[in-house]
Amino acid sequence: MGWQANTTSHLEKIVSGTGGALGIFAIFWFSRDMLGLYGAALMVASMGASAVLLFAVPHGALSQPWPLLGGHVVSAIIGVTVAQYVPNMVIAGSVAVGGAILVMHYLRCIHPPGGATALSFVIGGPHVHSLGYHYVIEPVMVNAFIILFIAIVFNYVFEWRRYPVAWYKREQESEPEQPSPEVIGRGDLKFALRAMNLTLDVSEPDLEKLFLLAKQHASEVHLDIEEIAAGRYYSNGRYGEEWEVRYIVDEIQSSQPEEDIIRYNVVAGKRRHVRESVNRLDFARWAAYEVFLNENSWQRVSD
């Protein structure tokens, strides 16, 4: 069914929802004055889908400025054009959405809410139809710029939310790279993506970083699963924002020791007060060593 674990923190979830609410609030008031309540509801439905991408998945390839602006504008053009030449609403809506998907593919601006933008004009009724191609500029393009501006400003406040990704990419490329024969380069990633022949909502820099982090994690020395016990504190031994101390609250036994469920609280670090559960093997891979609190300092338990 696609049900997967969500590894984001509670703070990240709250930030995503808050950003989406701010973006839609601004767009709704603008569209209401122009299109009326019914027309605004159709337009906000399209931009609401964009808000999910820009604020819940700001690093995604489909969330970047060109897919946002290009996807909405080209879809709006197609929606207006189809509505003018195809009188049947069912056929017009189908052709508008299919045509928007096709053109977005070729223009490299795939943005799923664009399909809703094309469809909104087709089913928008006389008030929306009266706008004609002006619909492309106002409200579509203006609304797209509004939510883009809010996304840039809002996400900038939170340093871990890089938007647009291209800005972060330029900062990274300004630093000297240390090539290594063991590192998969972006050329290798591009080849793999072409071989898969799929559109993935993830940028190449993030794929590269994901691989490097996974490789680093696999190569590090971690605790054995037998050393993990409830009532103890463990640290990942990292520095800066990645440093963390977890306290194991309890354990749920299973037939396979590595699959035992470990429930823990984060007691120190950036994610303090977060409560989560993982299996024993994943916790052992994360933990570098056991620690204890000595006055106000976390110290490693000696062997």
Tell me the three state secondary structure of residue 159: coil
Q: CB of 284 within 8 A of CB of 293?
A: no
Task: Answer whether 10's CB lies under 8 Å from 274's CB.
Answer: yes
Range of the domain at 95: 10-156
DSSP-derived 3-state class of residue 9:
coil
Which helix (H) or strand (E) segment holds residue 30: the answer is helix 10-56
The reply to whether 133 and 15 lie within a common domain is yes
67 is a domain residue: yes
Q: What is the pTM of this model?
A: 0.62
Q: Helices marked H in 158-243 — which ranges?
A: 165-173, 186-196, 204-219
Digit-coded pLDDT (tens) for 191-235: 776 676 655 667 666 777 777 776 665 555 577 888 889 999 999
Q: Are residues 19 and 151 in the same domain?
A: yes
Report pLDDT for 255: 85
Number of domains in the chain: 2
- Residue 200 belongs to some domain of the structure: no
Same domain for 150 and 18: yes
Q: Which residues of the chain have pLDDT under 50?
A: 175-182
Task: Compute the distance between CA of residue 301 and CA of residue 184 in angstroms, rounded to an integer.
Answer: 37
State whether 249 and 146 are in the same domain.
no
Q: Is residue 119 part of a domain?
A: yes
* Residue 267 located in a structural domain: yes
Is 96 a member of any domain?
yes
- The answer to whether residues 23 and 110 belong to one domain is yes
Tell me the Cα Rg of the chain: 24
* pLDDT at site 242: 83
Residue 208 within a domain: no
pLDDT of res. 212: 72
Q: State whether 124 and 21 are in the same domain.
A: yes
The SS3 of residue 299 is: strand
To which H or E segment does residue 262 belong?
Answer: strand 261-269
Is 3 part of a structural domain of the chain?
Answer: no
97 domain-assigned = yes
